[in-house]
Structure 1
Amino acid sequence: MNKTAKTVWLGALLLTSQFTFAQQPITPSVDTPGDRPATTPKPSAEKNELKFNLNESGSHFFKATFLNQAWLQFNQNNPGSTVIGVPKDNAFSIGLRRTRIQMFGQLSDHVFLYFQFGMNNFNYLNGGFNQTASSQRKIQAFFHDAVGEYLVFRNKNYLNIGAGLTIVNGLSRFSAPSVGTIMTMDVPVFAQATVDQTDQFSRKLSLYARGQVGHLDYRVAISDPFPIQTNGSALPVYGPNSIFALKGHTKQFQGLLMWQFFDKEAHQAPGYNTGTYLGAKKVFNLEAGFITQKNAMVRVDAPGDTTYQNMNLWSIASFLDMPLNREKGTALNAYLGYFHTDYGTNYLRFNGAMNPASDIVTAQRPGALGGTQGNAFPMFGTGSVVYGQFGYLLKRDLFGPGNGTLMPYVQAQIATYQRVTSTLGVYNVGVNYLIKGHNGKLTLDYQNRPYYEPSTGTSQISSGGRRGQLILQYQVFI
C-alpha cells in the first residue's frame, strides 16, 4: 500500500471512529439484563403535525400535511345507466375521493408560501371512461394550489396580498372548504360554482387581498378564468339554453365578507375555511359573498341571434360551530345559506361525486340529457339554492379513553332552477366516528336524490322519481 493510500485509509478510519462515538447514547449501558438507566426518560407529548421550525420561536416554519379519503360506495343508479357497456340498476365501487399533500410555511415575517398537490375522484373509471388517451389512471395528480403571499403588516393579518393558482373564492365559505375538517362526508359541491368548467378543480389564477380587521374577515380577488375548451370534456353545444362562452375572455371578480362575533377563525392557509373545530372554538359568523364575470355565458336562440350574458352569483349565510359543554366535550355545528345563481338563461349542469356509472343508454330514455347516469342530478343551474347542515358532537371518549366519539349530522340542498319544473331536494343523513378527531375518522352517509326526465316539447326537465346512495368513508389526515 503506497503512502497516499495509507493516508486516505487512516483518515477514513478516524472519521468513522468519531462518527461512531458521536452516536453513542449518553445513558448507561444496558448490555446485561441487570443494567438499567439511572433515570427513566419521561414520555414525550405526542405530536399531531409534521412541522419544521425555521427559527427558535417557531414563528417561521415549514409544514406538510397528508390526507386520504377512501370511499366504499353503493348507489342506486339513475334509469338507463350502464357500467362499462352493461345496464346496471345498482353499482358498488371503491375509490379515492381525495388524496392530497399540502406544503406551506411562514418563511419570514412577511413571506408565506403554499402548495397543494393531489388527485380527486379516482375510481375504476380512472377519471373518464370515454377518454382516448392511454394510461388515464396515471395522470390524475396535479397541483391544486401554488401561491406566494406577502404579509404587509408584521405579525398581523390586516392585509395579505397573494398571487398564483389558488382557491381564494368569493361566493361562500363552502366555495373554499378545508376538506380535511368538514363535518359532513362531502362538501356542497354546488357552492364551487365553476368547478372544472373555467377553473382547475375550483382553483383559478388570481391576484387577491385578504385579511382580518377586528371582527371582519375579508377577501377580494381578480381571477383569470381558463377557457372552457381546456377542461378536457366535450364542448357544450350552442342553443337556447345558456352555456359557458366559447369566444372571448374576460376577468372574474369576487369577494367574501365574514363578520366574526366570537372567536376569530384560522387564517393561515390562503382561502380555506374550516368545516368544524369539534368544540375547540366558539364561532358564530354572518357572511356575504359574490362572483361576477362579464359575458361569461352565451346562448343562441336562432341562426345569427347570439346573446352573451354576465355570470352573477351571490350568497348570504350564517355559520355556527361552538362547544355546548366543555367538560363533556359536546358541541354543535350548523350552517344555513341562500345562494342566487345566475349563469344566464336556463343554464343547467348535472354532476355526481365519484359517479359509479360510465354512460347512459339514450334509447331507454329518449331525449335524455348527457351526463345524467349513475348518481348525477342537476347540481348547478340558474335559479336559487338554500343549503343547510346541522351536527351534534357527542361527549368526549364516548367509547372509553382513546376510543373516540360520534358526531351525527343532517344536510339538505333545496334548489329552484329555471329548467327544472319542480323544487329539487337532495338530502343526506350520516354519522362520523371520530377515532382521533379529523386525523382518523369513519363516516357513514346516506343520500336521497331525485332523477329527471325531459319534459315533452320543452327544454325543461321533470322529476321521474328518487334514488339512494350509501357511502362509507375512511379518512386519515396528518
Structure 2
Amino acid sequence: MNRKQLLAALMLGIGAVGASKAQTNDFGNPKLVHFLNKEHTRFISFSGYAELWARYSQLNPGSLVNNEEVGSVSDLSLRRIRAKMTYKPTEHLYFVLQMGPTNVNVNSKTNTYMDLLDAYAEYSFSPKIAFGAGRSTWRGLSRFTTGPQATLLYDLPLYATSNTGVTDMVVREMSAYIKGQLGRFDYRLVLADPYTASMSDPQLNKATFSKNEAQKDVSGYFRYAFFDKESNETPFNAGTYLGKKKVLSLGAGFEYMHNALWHADATQAVHQDDMKSVAIDLFYDAPLNKEKGTSISAYGMAMHNDYGPNYLRFSGTNNPATGVAAANASLNGAGNALPTAGTGNTFYAQLGGTLPYFSEKNHNIQLQPAVSVQLANYEALKDNSAIYDAGVSLLFHGNSSRLTFDAQNRPIYTLNAANEGVVTDHKWAFVLKYRIDFN
C-alpha cells in the first residue's frame, strides 16, 4: 500500500467513525455504520451476534449419544452466530447479506459451515409500500414466525418456526414479498418457494409432507399499533423493548401451501392435503417507572393448524442426541425433542419485565424475570401438550449483552393399550445462555 492509499484508507476510517457519532449502540459506542452522504440516507453497516449455551438436559427415553444410551447430558454449544451487512446505496434501494452457523455442538464436528442465510434486495417506493426478493426470513403467520430478536426467554418457542428444516433452511426460503405501513397499520405478504420436503411415502390416515414438487408457500401478517409504532425495516419482531417503547400491537396472519402433504386411506388410495394455518396475537411492552427502569412485557397467541389427518411433528432445539434405541423410545424420539407442530390448536403466552436498576448511577445492569406456557391439543395425541418455561436474564447492556437462565419442562408421550398418545412422564432442561450483539 502506497502513501496515497494509506492516507485514503485512514480518511475513510475517520469519516466512518465521525459519521457514526450520531448513533450509538447499547454499549455507548458508535455504531458500525458508514454514511455515504451528508443527509445520512445512504449507508453501509455491519452487525451480528453470538449465542453461547451451557446446558444440562434430561433426555427422552432411549436417547443415544455416540451409540451409548444415556439419560442426561451436559454440554456447551453455539446456538447461533450471525454476521450481517446491510447496504443502502440510494434512498429507495436496500440490500441485506447475512451468514453464520446454527447449532454448533459436539455432533457438528465435520459439518460446521458459514452458511449463507440471507441475500435479498428491497426497493421502497414509500413507507406505504416496498417490494423485495431473494432468500430471507420474510414470512407471515405470527409475530415470531420469522425467528429471534431480543427474546424474552432463552429462545423462541418451537411452534413459531414449526416447519424449519422441513420446507425451509434455518427459517429461510426463496421468496418475494411486499410490505408497508399505512399509518398505524402494518402489513406484509409473502410468496415463497419452499424446499422439497422428501419425508416419507403416504401413511395410513396420517399426513406427512409429500415427496411431490413443492407448491408455493403463501403467507401474510397484519398488525395494528395502538401506541408507538414498530419498525418493519427487517422481518424480525422484538420480544421485548425493555420498556424503551410503549407498544400495544394486535396482529393476525395466515400461511397456506397447496398439496403440501399426503396420506393414504384404508383402500391405499392417496389423498393430497393442503397446509393451512391462521393465527392471532397480542403484544404489549411498556415502561412502569422510567427512573427505576422497570417495565412489563407480555405476549399472547392463538393458532390453528391444519396439515391433514393426524399430522404431528416432534423436534428438539440444538439436539444433543445422535439417535434413539427403538426398543426403549417414546413418541418424542431422540434427545430433547418435544411436540412442535401438528393438526390442531396451539396457545402460547409469556410474561416478564425488568426490575429496578442495580444502582441509580448505573443504568446498564438489571434483572428481567419471565415465564411462558405453550398449550396444544393435537389431533394425533389423546393428552394435551403443555410446555413450561421460567427464567431470568441479567442485562449488562440492554439486549446487546445479556445472560439468561431458563428452566423448561416438557411432556413425554408413549402409546397406551388403545394405541393413543398419552403423557407418561416429564423431562427438564436447564440452559444458561450468553448473547452479545455487535452493531
Q: Normalising to structure 2: TM-score of the pair? A: 0.91
Provide the rounded CA distance (Å) in 1 between the counterparts of 2:6 and 2:134. 45
Q: Which residue of 1 aligns with 2:216?
A: 251
1:227 aligns with 2:227: no
1:84 aligned residue: 66
Find the residue that maps to 1:174 and give its secondary structure.
coil
Q: State the partner residue of 2:48.
A: 66
User: Paired residue for 2:140, among 170, 174, 195?
Assistant: 170
Cα deviation digits, residues 367-425 of structure 1 (max 9, x gap): x44x6122111111110000010011112345962651000000111000011111110
The 1:399/1:380 distance shift into structure 2, 3 A limit, reads farther
- How far off its partner does 1:236 sit? 2.6
Task: Tell me the equivalent position of 2:426.
Answer: 466
Once the 2 structures are TM-superposed, how far is the Cα of residue 180 of structure 1 from its aligned partner?
Answer: 4.0
Distance (whole Å) between structure 2 residues aligned to residue 436 and residue 354 of structure 1: 26
Q: Is the 8 A contact 1:69 1:475 kept in 2?
A: yes
Which of 351, 361, 384 is equivalent to 1:390?
351
Aligned residue number for residue 16 of structure 2: none
**2:82 is aligned with 1:118:** no
Deviations 1:167-202 (A, max 9, x none): 11111011013x341111100121113211011111
1:398–1:239 CA distance, 2 compared to 1 (3 A): farther
Tell me which of 436, 439, 445 is aligned to 2:400: 439
Task: Answer yes or no: is 1:301 the counterpart of 2:271.
Answer: no
The aligned residue for residue 28 of structure 1 is none
Which of residues 75, 93, 105 in structure 1 aligns to 2:57? 75
Q: Is the 8 A contact 1:180 1:438 kept in 2?
A: no
Q: Which runs of 5+ in 1 are unaligned?
A: 1-11, 24-43, 127-134, 230-234
SS of the residue corresponding to residue 144 of structure 2 reads helix
RMSD: 2.3
Aligned AA (1:288): A
One-letter code aligned to 1:88: V
Structure 2 residue 115 is the aligned partner of structure 1 residue 142: yes
Q: Quick one: distance in 2 between partners of 1:424 and 1:114?
A: 38
Whether 1:337 and 2:301 are equivalent positions in the alignment is: yes
Q: Which amino acid aligns with 2:390?
A: V
C-alpha change, 1:411 and 1:219, in structure 2 (3 Å) is: same
Instruction: After TM superposition, list the pairs within 5 Å mapping 1:23-42 onto structure 2.
Output: none
Q: Map 1:235-274 to 2 at 5 A.
A: 235-240=199-204, 241-269=206-234, 271-274=235-238
Any conservation in 2 of the 1:398–1:406 contact (CA below 8 Å)?
no
Q: Quick one: distance in 1 between partners of 2:5 and 2:74?
A: 60
Identity between Structure 1 and Structure 2 (%): 32
CA distance in 2, matches of 1:438, 1:17: 41
Q: How does 1:351-362 map to 2 (within 5 A)?
A: 351-362=315-326
Corresponding position of 1:183: 152
Which residue is equivalent to 2:185?
216
Structure 2 residue aligned with 1:200: 169
Secondary structure of 1:279's counterpart equals: coil
Q: Deviations over 1:296-327 (max 9, x none)?
A: 11001246410001110010110001111112
2:276 alignment partner, one of 312, 335, 341: 312
TM-superposed CA distance for 1:16, in Å, is 6.4
What corresponds to 1:152 in structure 2? 125
Match of 2:423, as an amino acid?
S
Contact 1:82 1:358 in 2 (8 A): yes
Report the CA distance shift for 1:144/1:16 in structure 2 as closer, same or farther (over 3 A): closer
1:359 deviates by 1.5
- How far apart, in 2, do the equivalents of 1:196 and 1:167 lie? 13
**Separation of aligned partners in 2, 1:210 and 1:19:** 43
Aligned length: 421
CA displacement at 1:210 relative to structure 2 = 0.4
> What is the CA distance between 1:286 and its match in structure 2?
0.5
Amino acid at match of 1:382: T
Following superposition of structure 1 onto structure 2, how do residues 338-377 of structure 1 map, counting pairs within 5 Å?
Answer: 338-365=302-329, 368-369=330-331, 372-377=333-338
CA shift for structure 1 position 277: 1.3
In structure 2, list runs of 5 or more residues that go unmatched: 11-22
Distance 2:3 2:255 in 1: 64
Q: Shift of the alpha carbon at 1:349?
A: 0.8
The 3 A distance-change label for structure 1 pair 105 and 282 is: farther
Shift of residue 60, structure 1, vs aligned partner = 1.0
Residue in structure 2 matched with residue 476 of structure 1 by the alignment: 436
In structure 2, C-alpha distance between the alignment counterparts of 1:200 and 1:356, rounded to whole Å: 19
**Aligned partners of 2:4 and 2:270: how far apart in 1?**
82
Q: Is the 8 A contact 1:159 1:210 kept in 2?
A: yes
Task: Go from structure 1 to structure 2 and tell me whether the alpha carbon gap of 1:386 and 1:428 turns closer, same or farther (over 3 Å shift).
Answer: same
Q: Do 1:399 and 1:405's aligned partners in 2 also have CA atoms closer than 8 Å?
A: no
Q: Deviations over 1:255-298 (max 9, x none)?
A: 110000111102222x1111211111111010000001111110
Alignment check: 8 A CA contact 2:227 2:248 kept = yes
* Contact map agreement 1:80 1:361 (CA 8 A) in 2: yes
In 1, the alpha carbon distance for the partners of 2:342 and 2:5 equals 71
Whole-angstrom CA distance in 1 between matches of 2:175 and 2:306: 22
Quick one: distance in 1 between partners of 2:400 and 2:31?
10
Residues in 2 aligned to 1:353 and 1:69: alpha-carbon distance in whole angstroms: 13
Quickly say closer, same or farther: Cα 1:18–1:101, change in 2 above 3 A. Answer: closer
The verdict on how the C-alpha distance between 1:195 and 1:71 changes in structure 2, with shifts beyond 3 A counting, is same
Deviation at 1:248? 3.2
Greater shift in the superposed pair: 352-361 or 218-227: 352-361
CA contact (8 A) 2:357 2:363 kept: no
Q: Output the CA distance in 1 between the equivalents of 2:238 and 2:67.
A: 41
Kept in 1: contact 2:357–2:364 (CA 8 A): no
Secondary structure of residue in 2 paired with 1:277: coil
- Stretches of 4+ moved more than 6 A in 1? 15-20
Q: CA deviation at 1:86?
A: 1.1
